[in-house]
Amino acid sequence: MKMTAAGALIECLKEQGVEVVFGYPGGNILPVYDALCQSSDIKHILVRHEQGAVHAADGYARVTGRVGVCIATSGPGATNLVTGIATAYMDSIPLVVITGQVPTTMVGTDAFQEVDITGITIPITKHNYLVRDAAKLPLIIKRAFHIASTGRPGPVLIDLPKNVLQQEITYTQPTDLKLLGYKPTYRGHKSQVTTACNLIKHARRPVIYSGGGVIASNGSEVLTELAERISAPVVSTLMGLGGIPGCHPLSLGMLGLHGARYANMAVMECDVLVALGVRFDDRVAVDFSSFAPKAKIIHVDIDPAEIGKNVKIDVPIVGDVRMVMETMLGQLAAQKEEQWLAHIEELKKKYPLKYEQGTGLKPQSIIETIRELTSGEAIIVTDVGQHQMWAAQYYKAKKPRTFVSSGGLGTMGYGLPAAVGAKVGVPDRPVILITGDGSFQMNMQEFGTAVEQGLPIKVIIMNNHSLGMVRQLQEFYCDRRYMATIFTKNPDFVKFADVYDALGLRVTEAEELRDTLERALNSDGPVIIDCVIDQEENVYPMVLAGRPLSQSIDG
C-alpha cells in the first residue's frame, strides 16, 4: 500500500495492538495527528501538558502490562517528556515515546523548536531512534515495541522529522526484527538454579525479597506458591507490592527505609535471602555493608547488570523471574519451618505498624478506611512523599498491578496523570489517587483531562500545607530548621473541583471520614477529597542515615 510515513506509523501501531495513545500536538508532529484524525481505530487522549502524556502512558502500562504510547512535538514538547521517560526507565516500565522533529534538512541548525532529544534521552531510554529514512519506519516501530516489552522492560523513543513523516512509502509489515546482539536470557542457568535450591533446602530461616521484576514477569501466583512451598515470609519493595496478597500470612509488606520493623528484622535475621527481581537500592539496603548480614543471598534478575551491583551475591541467576521460580518449584519439596514462622509472628506482635489514635484526622486511618471500603480491590495510584509511604504501609494490595507509584525516580506530580492512564487501561476497576498538596499542584491541570474524558477518578489529597517528607527530613537532620517546605497559601481544592464542574469534598475530623469517602466512591464522576491533616505527622518506622535496618525508630 502507498501511504505517507505518518499513515504507516498509525498502521504499525494498530498492528502492535495499540488502542489508545496519550499526547499533545504541535507543528512538527502535525502529520501524525492528521493521520490519527483519519483513523477510528486508535483513541487519542489529549492531556494538558506533555509530562501528563508520558505519566498517563506509564500508568496505563503498569496496570495493563501492555506497552504505553505517548506522542509530543519537537523542542519543548519533547523535553517536557524527559521526567516521565526517566520515571519509566528507573521502574522498568514499557513505553514507546514518539516525538516530532524539525525536517532533516534543518537538523543541527538550531531551528525553531529543535532539540536533540535522542541525545538527551540516551541515559534514560532502553534504546532510541532518529528516523531519517521513511522506508525503515515500519521496521523501527516493530523493533521499538519488541525492545520495550521484552527482557527488562523500559522506554524506547522514536524521533520523527517532519519531512520524513510526509514522505510517501510502500507500506509492508516487516517480518524479521534483525536485532543482532539483543538476546535476553529467560531461563536461568541450570546448575545455578540447582545450587540455589540446595541452599533453600538447607535453610532454617528463609526470606523471599520480592520486587518489581515479579510483577513485570507476571509471576505473582508463582511467588505465592514458592513462599508457601518453602515456608518463607515475603518482604516487598515499593515496586513489588501486590506480588503476594498483602493479607497473606506470609506477607510482611514493605521493607527498607520506611518498611515495617518486623520485615526489616526478618531480613537481618534470615539465613537465606531469595531476591527476586530487585535492585538492592538504597531505599531498601539503606546500609549496603550491613544488609542481611547472616544470609546467603540468591539473586534472580533478567538484567545481569543489576546482579552484584550493590550487594555481594552468593548465587547469581540471570533469567526471567517467573520462569526461574517455576524451575525452582520443580526441584523443591514442601518444607515447614515452624520455629522460624513462629518467631516471625512474635516479631509482628512486638513491632507492629502503629500510630497514635488521638484527636484529629490521621492519614494512616484514611488509608485503612479506603481499604475497608474497597475491600482492597481498587487500583491505588500515589504521588511521592509521606502519603506514598502511608499508602504502602497500610493499604495491603491484594493483587499485582493494583499499586501504582513512582519508585526509583520518586517523581512528584506523577500520580494524577498516571491515574488517568490507569483508569483508561482498566475502566471497570475503581481508581483512587492518594496524593499530597505539594504533589497534586505539580500536575493538577490533568484533572481537566479526567473530567473531559469522563474518568471517575477519586483524588484523596493529604493536605498538611507542607512538603511533608522534606519537612520530616528537616526535623531529623536540620534541627527543625524548616526552609522552603511550608505552604502558607494553598488553593481551595474543593473550589478547584467545582471549577471543573466536579465534586469537591473536605474532611477535617475523623468522624466525617467514612461517610465522605463513601459518598466519593459512590459518585459517578471525578471527585477531589481535601483531607486536612496535622503538619507534623511523621512517617514511622524510619531508618536514619548510616544505620542498619534493625535500628529503625518507631516515633
pLDDT in tens, 113-130: 999 999 999 999 999 999
Q: Are residues 471 and 380 in the same domain?
A: yes
> How much is the average pLDDT of 422-450?
98
> How much is the average pLDDT of 168-178?
90
pLDDT of 536-549, one tens digit each? Answer: 999 999 999 889 99
What single string gives the DSSP state of each residue in 69-138?
Answer: EEEE-STHHHHTTHHHHHHHHHHT--EEEEEEE--GGGTTTT-TT---HHHHHGGGSSEEEE---GGGHH
Q: Is 113 a catalytic residue?
A: yes
Number of domains in the chain: 3
- Note the pLDDT of residue 6: 98
> Residue 534 pLDDT > 90, yes or no?
yes
Question: Which residue type occupies 494?
Answer: V
pLDDT of 246-280, one tens digit each? Answer: 999 999 999 999 999 999 999 999 999 999 999 99
> How much is the average pLDDT of 355-360?
84
Residue 403 domain boundaries? 363-532
- Note the pLDDT of residue 175: 86
Q: Does 121 reside within a domain?
A: yes
- 97 pLDDT band, cuts 50/70/90, is very high
Q: Is 112 a catalytic residue?
A: yes
Q: Does 480 reside within a domain?
A: yes
- 331 pLDDT band, cuts 50/70/90, is very high
Q: Does 543 reside within a domain?
A: no
Q: Does 210 reside within a domain?
A: yes
Q: Are residues 221 and 109 in the same domain?
A: no
E strand or H helix that includes residue 61 = helix 50-64
> Residue 357 pLDDT > 90, yes or no?
no
Q: Are residues 413 and 326 in the same domain?
A: no
Question: pTM above the 0.95 mark?
Answer: yes
Helix, strand or coil for residue 264? helix
Q: What is the CATH number of the domain that holds 328?
A: 3.40.50.1220
- 322 pLDDT band, cuts 50/70/90, is very high
Please tell me the distance from the alpha carbon of residue 68 to that of residue 421, in angstroms, as a whole number: 9
Query: Taking the CB of residue 482, how many other CB atoms lie within 10 A of it?
Result: 14
Q: Are residues 321 and 426 in the same domain?
A: no
Q: 237: Cβ–Cβ under 8 A, 6 or more apart, which residues?
A: 209, 210, 211, 212, 254, 255, 256, 278, 279, 281, 283, 284, 407
Cβ proximity of 447 and 420 under 8 Å: no
Helix, strand or coil for residue 384? coil
Please tell me the distance from the alpha carbon of residue 26 to that of residue 77, in angstroms, as a whole number: 8
Q: Are residues 427 and 297 in the same domain?
A: no
Q: Are residues 103 and 13 in the same domain?
A: yes
- Note the pLDDT of residue 482: 97
Alpha helix stretches (DSSP H) within 219-362: 220-230, 261-269, 321-329, 338-350
Which of the residues 11, 50, 269, 306 is marked catalytic?
50
Q: Does 537 reside within a domain?
A: no
* Greatest pairwise CA separation for the chain in angstroms: 72
Please tell me the distance from the alpha carbon of residue 450 to that of residue 445, in angstroms, as a whole number: 10
E strand or H helix that includes residue 421 = helix 415-425
Length of the chain: 555
- 496 pLDDT band, cuts 50/70/90, is very high
pLDDT of 458-487, one tens digit each? Answer: 999 999 999 999 999 999 999 999 999 999
> Residue 416 pLDDT > 90, yes or no?
yes
Nearest to 232 by CA among 256, 254, 213, 204: 204
Q: Does 160 reside within a domain?
A: yes
- 286 pLDDT band, cuts 50/70/90, is confident
Which of the residues 16, 113, 335, 445 is marked catalytic?
113
Q: Are residues 328 and 421 in the same domain?
A: no
Q: 160: Cβ–Cβ under 8 A, 6 or more apart, which residues?
A: 5, 9, 29, 32, 98, 99, 100, 101, 131, 137
Residue that finishes a domain, picked among 142, 170, 198: 170
Q: Are residues 46 and 164 in the same domain?
A: yes
Q: 333: Cβ–Cβ under 8 A, 6 or more apart, which residues?
A: 201, 229
> Residue 178 pLDDT > 90, yes or no?
no
Please tell me the distance from the alpha carbon of residue 37 to that of residue 19, in angstroms, as a whole number: 14
Q: Does 298 reside within a domain?
A: yes
pLDDT of 364-409, one tens digit each? Answer: 999 999 999 999 999 999 999 999 999 999 999 999 999 999 999 9
Q: 513: Cβ–Cβ under 8 A, 6 or more apart, which residues?
A: 361, 365, 366, 369, 507, 531
- Note the pLDDT of residue 530: 98
Residue that finishes a domain, picked among 327, 350, 373: 350
Q: Is 162 a catalytic residue?
A: yes
- Note the pLDDT of residue 383: 98
Please tell me the distance from the alpha carbon of residue 453 to that of residue 500, in angstroms, as a whole number: 12
Q: Are residues 443 and 464 in the same domain?
A: yes
For residue 359, give Cα distances in angstroms to 44, 295, 534, 554.
47, 43, 10, 20
Mean pLDDT, rounded, of the chain: 97
Q: Are residues 40 and 76 in the same domain?
A: yes
Q: What is the CATH number of the domain that holds 469?
A: 3.40.50.970
Q: Is 353 left (phi over 0), alpha (psi -120 to 50) or beta?
A: beta
Which of the residues 126, 162, 396, 423 is marked catalytic?
162
pLDDT of 184-201, one tens digit each? Answer: 999 999 999 999 999 999
Please tell me the distance from the alpha carbon of residue 292 to that of residue 168, in angstroms, as a whole number: 60
Which of the residues 265, 268, 469, 542 is marked catalytic?
469
Q: Are residues 455 and 343 in the same domain?
A: no
Which of the residues 112, 288, 345, 346 is marked catalytic?
112
pLDDT of 18-50, one tens digit each? Answer: 999 999 999 999 999 999 999 999 999 999 999
Q: Is 328 a catalytic residue?
A: no
Q: 478: Cβ–Cβ under 8 A, 6 or more apart, which residues?
A: none
Please tell me the distance from the alpha carbon of residue 474 to that of residue 462, in angstroms, as a whole number: 19
Q: Does 182 reside within a domain?
A: no
Q: 82: Cβ–Cβ under 8 A, 6 or more apart, which residues?
A: 120, 121, 124
> How much is the average pLDDT of 496-505?
98
Q: 194: Cβ–Cβ under 8 A, 6 or more apart, which residues?
A: 331
> Residue 359 pLDDT > 80, yes or no?
no
- Note the pLDDT of residue 275: 98
Q: Is 268 a catalytic residue?
A: no
Q: Are residues 397 and 522 in the same domain?
A: yes
3-state secondary structure 201-215: HCCCCEEEEECHHHH
- Note the pLDDT of residue 428: 96
Q: 180: Cβ–Cβ under 8 A, 6 or more apart, which residues?
A: none
Backbone angles phi, psi at 260, to 5 degrees: -60, 140
E strand spans, 351-468: 379-382, 403-404, 431-436, 458-463
Residues paired with residue 69 on neighbouring β-strands, in sequence order:
96
Please give the grid coordinates belonging to residue 539.
Answer: 512517617
